[in-house]
A and B are shown apart, each in its own frame.
Chain A
Amino acid sequence: MTNHTETASPENKGGKFGNFMRKIGRAFKNFFVNFPANCRKAIGRFCSWFGFGTFGYTSNKKRKKVFFDVIGYVLLVAGGITMLYPFWWMLAASLAGPVMAADGVTVTDSALNVMITTIFWPDETSQFGLLYNYENAVTLLNSAWQTVTIGGHAYAFWRSIINTLVYSLVPVTVGVFTSAMAAFAFAKLNFKGKNFVFFYCLAAIMIPFPSIMIAQFCVYSAMGWTENGLAMIVPGCFGAILTAFFIRQYLYGLPTSILEAARIDGAGYWRQFTSFIVPLAKPAIMAQFILSFMGSWNNYLAPQVFITSDMWKPLTLAIGQLDTSYSTDVTNAPAVMAASVLALLPILILFAVFQKTIIGSIMLTGSKE
């Protein structure tokens, strides 16, 4: 095709096609003769296609919005992949197994190596079944601490799950209830010293946990609470100021006239709390319950310091223990990953079920804990 342009150098030669090519050539030449103006023209036309009015070209709001929407979606999707991919990687990597040679005995690629080089799916899943690593994780976790036995069987995994459930359910249930009580008093009752009590409690969040944990540990161990798990249960039962703060914010939004009506009908304060405040503030109380539950489930430092008896250690400590002993072990490393998936799943399921309540509650008050 390019030959035609060379042969069509004299005028009127080459027919329509030659004319056309000459036109293009002239346009090309003109373009370079007044380059800056044409550049502006090109940029202006290009930008106006996306809705921007530059160099005298018309702007188009609709197109502009579409342009920004597309860019926004691309960025958001990229960010979303960054957020989600590690979880998928974790799940896929936890299924990895060693690559075997043809004889089925010699290992050509260790399970650890297969696991850490997984991209979307491991090169080789375990030869003992897809969920072998999970079985192995339970076995390893069961023997994480030799002292935790029942009838001669090591059951540290199940024990740690029970402990975690106890540590997260009992203090959180009682604590959210007592916090709701305090929130009711802060929001709807007028008593002397209310503001003082409120700011006295609120100032306590300035004191970081690491600086009081040693004194707490000394007292708890003197009372024997470090040997029976009470150190993780009792303090939480007294409620938390941030929980109370959040429920208080919610209660401010509720009309006081309901309580006044109840008061006129002769309902006592306790009655007002149990049959009016608790049902009405249910969304806030639920959200705080779930957030505190997640916090307790994921807690690592407090049990690490407070619990000295292996019998009462929660799941996070068991996984930490497993990580320190097996994380570089060529055969058992995928089991560590499987164990951490096991610890993660309940929280993720809980979050998936209650995400609306949780996100709504955080957006309402700005309380993250």
Chain B
Amino acid sequence: MENNTVSYAQDAAAVQALDLTEPIRQKKRINRAKLQENIWGWIFVSFLLIGTTVFTYIAFILSVWISFTDYDAFIMTTFWEGLGSIHPDGAFHWYQYMFSPEGPLGIAGESEDFWNTLGSTVFYLIGIPIGMVLSLGISVLLSRDIRGTGTFRVIYYIPTVASTVSITVMWTNLFGDGGLMDSLFGLSLLANDSTYWQNRACVIILTVWKGLGGTVVLFVAGLNGVNASYHEAAEIDGANAWSIFWRITMPQLYPTIFYVLVTSVIGGMQIFVEPNLIFGNYPATGNQATSGTRYNIPFVGFIFGVFNNGEWAHASALGIILAIIIFVLTLIQFGLDSRRDKV
């Protein structure tokens, strides 16, 4: 008993001592503050986190799932029925279908359409290097200490903010049959008798013209960020403007160029509105079915056309292929980037 009371007293004293000691108390308070910060941090990001998870990641998983099914708007009535129907010809039916050539009866596959649309999308990517070289030149001009650079920057940015639908309507008239470009310069790129290479060139001109401003603004920002002291040092050492540009400006501008390249390849693979409004929907009907315009439908236009036909599983499979292509292209670019850093 004695022992017990003593131990109780000791315990009490110890507890008192604990209560009185400053460090442990402080630790407790910090913990509570930390807990609160953790809780509030998660509350603040919760909306973005839920949105990204539900509308991107879960949607992507669903997309992969749907691509294995036989989900068709005109056969399945409910969403669950569609999800439950794995394709009778095997889960990878649509992936085999898009890579196998069209059979004699026209049902075995669609590899012709697949490669045509993918090819035209890749062809439209030619606009990216052209636009980058042009905007690099413009931004070098704009980064000289001359007056009115701000005004020029705004002017070059106007096409970027303009509505693509309106721009495309204007473009079809500008380059169309007997249009201004035809009558002034003889450039009938969208006329009835123009080849589909000319049509494609017209789309590239449109994308370059429209995308120039955003790249110029980014490059000007990058050029302004180039350290001026390097320039001065090189100038004192007697370097001429040309070698200063290639040896000092370009390496420092490289991150911006890389960013622009990656984002514009991702965006360029998803080109849809301009060709869709100029050439019409896939599958090409009426006049377009026989003319060259059916070769100008981009890959997203192909997906959209298949979707419009109600073949949702098929369209999902094509969408997954697009995601894989974009992912691989981005990986290749990052791989090249890392190799460059080592050298």
Q: Is A104 an interface residue (CB 8 A)?
A: no
Instruction: Give bound CA distance, A58 to B88, whole Å.
Output: 84
A181 and B44 within 8 A (CB):
yes
Q: A214-B315, A298-B163, A355-B157 are in contact. Are A363 and B62 (CB under 8 A)?
A: no
Q: Which residues of A contact B62 (CB under 8 A)?
A: 215, 218-219
Report B122-166 residues with CB < 8 Å from chain A CB: 137-138, 141-142, 144, 146, 152-159, 161-166
Q: Is A182's beta carbon under 8 Å from chain B?
A: yes
Q: Is the C-beta of A128 less than 8 angstroms from some C-beta in chain B? A: no
A351→B153 contact, CB < 8 A: no
Taking the complex as formed, is B50 at the interface, i.e. its CB lies under 8 A from any CB of chain A?
yes
Interface residues on A, range: 35 or more
Let me know if B273 and A300 touch, CB within 8 A. Answer: yes
B40 is an interface residue with CB less than 8 A from chain A: yes
Name which of B71, B158, B178, B326 has the most chain A CB atoms within 10 A of its CB: B158
Cβ distance A261 to chain B, nearest Cβ, rounded Å: 16
Bits for B26-46, please: 1 = Cβ < 8 Å to A, else 0.
000000000011101110110
> Are A83's CB and B159's CB within 8 A?
yes
The answer to whether residues A218 and B82 also contact, given A116-B179, A207-B323, A340-B165 and a CB cut-off of 8 A, is yes
Residues from chain B with Cβ under 8 Å of A189 in the complex: 37, 40-41, 44
Q: Does A280 contact B (CB under 8 A)?
A: no
Is the beta-carbon distance between B79 and A182 smaller than 8 angstroms? no
Quick check: B218 and A93 within 8 Å, CB to CB? no
Any B CB within 8 A of the CB of A256 = no
Chain B residues 194-224 with CB under 8 Å of chain A are: 209, 212-214, 217-218, 220-221, 224
Please, how many residues of chain B have a CB less than 8 angstroms from a CB on the other chain? 95
A194 within 8 A of B: yes
Q: Specify which chain B residues have a CB less than 8 angstroms from the CB of A54 in the assembled complex.
A: none
With A89-B174, A324-B280 already in contact, the answer to whether A179 and B146 are too (CB < 8 A) is: no
User: Given the complex, which residues of A lie within 8 Å of B141, measured CB to CB?
Assistant: 72, 75-76
Asked if A211 is at the interface of the complex by the 8 Å CB criterion, the answer is yes
Task: Return chain B residues, CB-CB under 8 Å to A366.
Answer: 218, 221, 256, 259
User: What does the 1/0 interface line of A116-142 toward B look like (CB < 8 Å)?
Assistant: 111100000000000000000000000
- CB of B60, distance to nearest CB on chain A (Å): 5
Q: Does A143 contact B (CB under 8 A)?
A: no
> Is the Cβ of A204 less than 8 Å from the Cβ of B56?
yes
Contacts A204-B56, A214-B315, A363-B217 supplied; 5 other A-B pairs, CB < 8 Å: A79-B152, A185-B40, A217-B307, A269-B37, A340-B166
A residues with a Cβ closer than 8 A to B are 68-69, 72-73, 75-76, 79-80, 82-84, 86-87, 89-90, 93, 113, 115-119, 178-179, 181-182, 184-186, 189-194, 197, 200-201, 204, 206-219, 221-222, 235, 237-239, 241, 244, 269-270, 273, 294, 297-298, 300-301, 304-305, 316, 319-320, 323-324, 327, 333, 336-337, 340-341, 343-344, 347-348, 351, 355, 358-359, 362-364, 366, 368
Instruction: Return 23 A-B CB contacts under 8 Å, by A number.
Output: A68-B144, A83-B155, A116-B179, A179-B48, A191-B37, A194-B41, A204-B57, A206-B327, A208-B269, A210-B303, A214-B63, A215-B63, A218-B312, A235-B55, A238-B48, A238-B54, A298-B162, A298-B164, A301-B272, A316-B165, A323-B172, A340-B169, A347-B161
Which B residues lie at the A interface, using CB under 8 A? 36-38, 40-42, 44-45, 47-52, 54-57, 59-60, 62-63, 65-66, 71, 78-79, 82, 137-138, 141-142, 144, 146, 152-159, 161-174, 176, 178-180, 183-184, 209, 212-214, 217-218, 220-221, 224, 256, 259, 263, 266, 269-270, 272-273, 277, 280, 300, 303-304, 307, 312, 315-316, 319-320, 322-323, 326-327, 330
